[in-house]
Amino acid sequence: MLTKQILDHTGHVMSEFYVDEVDSRNLQIHHKVTQDIEPTLQLTKSLRDNQHLDPFANKQSGWKRVAEIPRVLYDQLAQQGITRDKKKFRAWLNDYANRPFRVWEGHL
Amino acid sequence: MAHQMARRTKELKRSVEAALLSNQAKATGNSTTARTSAMIGAWLDTNTSFDVTTGSGLTPGADPATVGSTARTDSSTQRALTATLINTVMQSCYTEGGEPDRLMVGPYNKTVVSTLTGRSIAREMIDSNTAGSNVTVFATDFGDLQVMPNRFQRERDAFLISPDFAKVSYLRNFQVSTLGKTSDAETKYLVVEMGLEMTQEAAHGGIFDLETS
């Protein structure tokens, strides 16, 4: 029998816990984290499309917003060791396939 | 039982994370008081920024009197998180030889960071749910910075972390023991004893006494 319980639901991230009781001596437990990334994709697209509206963007503070990465994807990158390796992380950010998460599209 | 153990393990892991990011000083403990390990708030001393407002009835912030052995003093006045504050502490870390690439903030201050680049358009577009569910990457004068929200830390603190110079060390890793049986009921307990191993506190930075709402 499969039972499901929501452990946490904050923002667009949901954390669920599944217990599958195969038989009296065999339990299978899964922890699943899901995120609705549509708001993130909308946000990054809006920021990309509207950069021209703000002529002072990125100039005053020396900061440039590069990307918005959904938490579930970031966790996956962390597990792969990409977020700890500056070269790999930059390569991931520069990969055209990850353009939907980029805000500023220049090469890093 | 397995379900309950998994749930309690997650609960304990959350407690561990909250402890690691707290302002707890070390204590050797005795027969009546449990020993405690110094956590990040009590470690940071070199690259810190805190509120120093003084006046009648006001307490200014202060670094730990003895690093690790005493907790830091919180100011009674709070201030807004700004890019200037972050830049100043990042520069201080850089001068000390550190290269922090993560900024860990509470959920409220994550929304503040999301609007730091001075864009009025950003303020309109970013809602707190989206900001709190993402990691924002900035290119700064001192390298790339991954800004992540963490709800287990104090909202008034922001930590600049160099991951290579801090780790969790376990005296007793997560372990389960069975307690004596009472009638038909089985009882187990889960225990972990750990501490924050700070290999070089000057590689990290802290910005304290931030507004929380």
> pLDDT, tens digit, for every residue of B175-208?
888 898 889 888 888 899 999 999 999 999 999 9
Q: Considering only CB atoms, which chain B residues are within 8 Å of A93? A: 137
* Structure confidence by residue, pLDDT tens digits, B55-76: 999 999 999 999 999 999 999 9
Q: Considering only CB atoms, which chain A residues are within 8 Å of B106? A: none
A86 touches chain B (CB under 8 A): yes
Cα nearest neighbour of B122 on chain A: A47
Nearest to A90 by CA among B144, B121, B208, B172: B144
Residues of chain A with pLDDT below 70 are 24, 52-61
Q: Considering only CB atoms, which chain A residues are within 8 Å of B137? A: 65-69, 93
- pTM across the whole model: 0.88
Element (H, E) at B5: helix B2-20
In chain B, the percentage of residues whose pLDDT exceeds 70 is: 92
Q: Is the ipTM of this complex over 0.90?
A: no
Q: Do A61 and B133 touch (CB under 8 A)?
A: no
Q: Considering only CB atoms, which chain A residues are within 8 Å of B12? A: none
Tell me how close the Cα of B109 comes to any Cα of chain A, in angstroms: 15
CA distances from B50 to B74, B86, B142, B210 (A): 8, 12, 21, 8
Closest partner CB to A54 (pick from B2, B101, B120) = B120
DSSP state, residue A53: G
- For residues B51 and B208, the answer to whether their CB atoms sit within 8 Å is yes
Q: What is residue A89's predicted lDDT score, i.e. its pLDDT?
A: 95
- For residues B64 and B72, the answer to whether their CB atoms sit within 8 Å is yes
